[in-house]
Structure 1
């Protein structure tokens, strides 16, 4: 807890003493679990929103139990729960529901990602909450959305990724459909959720003065990103297939292994970038070769072009390739892993990795705030903290719960 039992702490977060971001003064209630909902709230917290994160007493958010672990503590949690005030609350308990309604009275945004119907079962659906706070924006993240025949299905990111169709055209043609190596569906949905919340806040503050309910599924943001899928099938009957790193729509595009075992990615999909590449390879004849004379021709003869380029890479080490390409203005980049990234001068110059105060380990490094605001930048004020770290500050300082009731609610497992 954040203060001694004898002291009623201020309702203002300690982070208020730090840099003011563009969302300073906005209060967000994070009632989500795991990644998609909580990460949306984290993005808002990074830019100064006062995010109050709810967890179940005793066990906490499921992300507290995700690896990697250090000394029994999840390092993932340190990142996804950064910049938040943390409280515990049992939403299925009637007194817990009363306390939740009190939190909602002064909130701007509520984010939840339970299975559809759960908040309604608790008497906490949007219609009821809007009667308490008509200005509330409620963002609901779920696997398949709040409506439709699959709405009540459970929906983790892996299922949403499969349902989006993306794995069907991701990976090698002779291998199974390939899933991403990180929770892509959750991460993309969280960005759409945060964006949607701010759209609704803008509409509220500059439009009708009312909040609204927002329905974000995990699969739809991914489906929205595959721009040509629907129209290509609709007009030409195209069903996109797995081609490894190559794309059917443009060529060349692949990763190529160098003499010293490194990998370099290139994309030369415009005519100008392809011509630069051909000159840098010392093969200007590729520019006028009928097989490669334009993008459509290159796509048709993609395998032949790919073999020519791969052979060139195999005879040179990565540093020489990148030096040559940089001078020739070829669009290319080495494939980095995290051990490369932490030493990379561009990452360092952009402050993409920052050192953050942490209650358990002193200082930890993690990703900085993205995107960069030049006048009102966000910041990472602290890493994710202990379960219920801000219980006393919120319940006594913000909601006015007496010390006696606070102790009783804690003993009863309500908070």
Structure 2
């Protein structure tokens, strides 16, 4: 029998040959660079000689930051102080053969250092400069410090998240930064594709307040056309019901979705209440949502009498949509995540084997790979800068001045 899987090409890294300089931190810009590195881009992380703030952000083990290990994976790590004339000179040398620079300084900072796009594109006309800031490069808020939390508030996300009688709710993780990172990576690839036609690079201006608004759905057009504002509904939906989280007999939780009419009907048959299906209002998702109290009561009571395993098995047999509410320890054990290879384990020079998220999607020929975790500070400084003519003596002089 022949193998139906075609052989992968010798070069199985989609972005091989793309050189990226990551001078951003906390968190959207660096994560965008991580995504590019996962698929083969040559990414060099430039951090202040005192260390990037991510190294001390969040959990650590034996003084080693764990967030850094994930966020700086597949990157070379060098130290370089861009606020010094010597550091700026070194950076200009590096820009000469770079494809992408990713930065997130406040607008005007690079220009103050003589490293604005006008200066950088004069060195390298094909350069793509990705500028990731809270509020963008212009407008009345451009100079404000901007973080993902502010974007989650101003985008409209927090206003619709939480219980109806409770306060607006912020996510307990970097949601706006994550969505912005994905958007930035897409924007960079779009600019590189345009460069293939024009031969010119360009500036990518990403304001973190915008991508999250994009994924919130039709709120803007609904307000524009109907004057309606989406309200907080907790775990319920204004568009369908039953849709909620429900507690099982063994004290665990499951989530149920009925976005499709056929699934809603299967759920009500499964929980022993087929009579609801014949109600005139049941044929519309929005109308079902107006009867969420009684539908939740029926579904919740059925689930409460069964264990999580029993509930998920019954829903699966009925081809109804349910999922257990996991914490990360469950993800480590789940067979579907294992089949997908969602988590990967690699050796780290400081911590030994470490496990974290794998690349976020699979390509059949150029699949991407996590090759190493975030490196120790300055691990690659001598190697990387040596390629730009900086020998050991000059490197020592730069180190003495605090430039590297």
TM-score under structure 1 normalisation?
A: 0.93
Deviation at 1:103, TM superposition (A): 0.5
Q: Distance in 2 between matches of 1:173 and 1:312?
A: 25
Mark the runs of 5 or more structure 1 residues left unpaired by the alignment.
Answer: 1-17
Q: Which of 207, 218, 239 is the equivalent residue of 2:229?
A: 239
Pairing of 1:38-49 with structure 2 (within 5 A)? 38-49=30-41
The 3-state SS of whatever aligns with 1:54 is strand
Q: Which residue of 2 aligns with 1:27?
A: 19
Q: Which of 379, 392, 397 is the equivalent residue of 1:403?
A: 392
8 Å contact from structure 1 (residues 19, 379) kept in 2 = no
Residue 274 of structure 2 corresponds to residue 284 of structure 1: yes
8 Å contact from structure 2 (residues 238, 286) kept in 1 = no
Give the stretch that moved more between structures: 342-351 or 306-315. 306-315
Residue 102 of structure 2 corresponds to residue 111 of structure 1: yes
Residue 239 of structure 2 corresponds to residue 249 of structure 1: yes
Residue 44 of structure 2 corresponds to residue 52 of structure 1: yes
Q: Distance in 2 between matches of 1:339 and 1:49?
A: 31
8 Å contact from structure 1 (residues 40, 190) kept in 2 = yes
8 Å contact from structure 1 (residues 80, 384) kept in 2 = yes
The 3-state SS of whatever aligns with 1:292 is helix
Deviation at 1:104, TM superposition (A): 0.5
Q: Distance in 1 between matches of 2:178 and 2:24?
A: 14
Pairing of 1:10-409 with structure 2 (within 5 A)? 20-57=12-49, 59-205=50-196, 207-396=197-386, 398-409=387-398
Q: Which residue of 1 aligns with 2:7?
A: none
Deviation at 1:371, TM superposition (A): 0.7
Q: Distance in 2 between matches of 1:125 and 1:399?
A: 21
Deviation at 1:400, TM superposition (A): 1.1
Deviation at 1:303, TM superposition (A): 2.0
Alignment RMSD: 1.2
Aligned length, in residue pairs: 395
8 Å contact from structure 1 (residues 63, 76) kept in 2 = yes
Mark the runs of 5 or more structure 2 residues left unpaired by the alignment.
Answer: 1-9
Q: Distance in 1 between matches of 2:69 and 2:215?
A: 29
Q: Which residue of 2 aligns with 1:15?
A: none
The 3-state SS of whatever aligns with 1:64 is helix
Deviation at 1:56, TM superposition (A): 0.3
Deviation at 1:19, TM superposition (A): 7.2
8 Å contact from structure 2 (residues 99, 128) kept in 1 = yes
Deviation at 1:311, TM superposition (A): 1.5
Q: Distance in 2 between matches of 1:310 and 1:167?
A: 27
Cα-to-partner distance string for 1:135-171 (whole Å, 9 max, x where unaligned)? 0011000001111111111001111111111100101
Q: Distance in 2 between matches of 1:390 and 1:296?
A: 57
The 3-state SS of whatever aligns with 1:219 is coil
Give the stretch that moved more between structures: 308-317 or 282-291. 282-291
8 Å contact from structure 1 (residues 34, 61) kept in 2 = no
The 3-state SS of whatever aligns with 1:234 is helix
TM-score under structure 2 normalisation?
A: 0.96
Q: Distance in 1 between matches of 2:290 and 2:344?
A: 45
Q: Distance in 2 between matches of 1:227 and 1:132?
A: 41
The 3-state SS of whatever aligns with 2:130 is strand
Q: Distance in 2 between matches of 1:296 and 1:88?
A: 56
8 Å contact from structure 2 (residues 78, 377) kept in 1 = yes
Deviation at 1:292, TM superposition (A): 2.2
Give the stretch that moved more between structures: 294-303 or 80-89. 294-303
The 3-state SS of whatever aligns with 2:210 is helix
Q: Distance in 1 between matches of 2:395 and 2:283?
A: 74
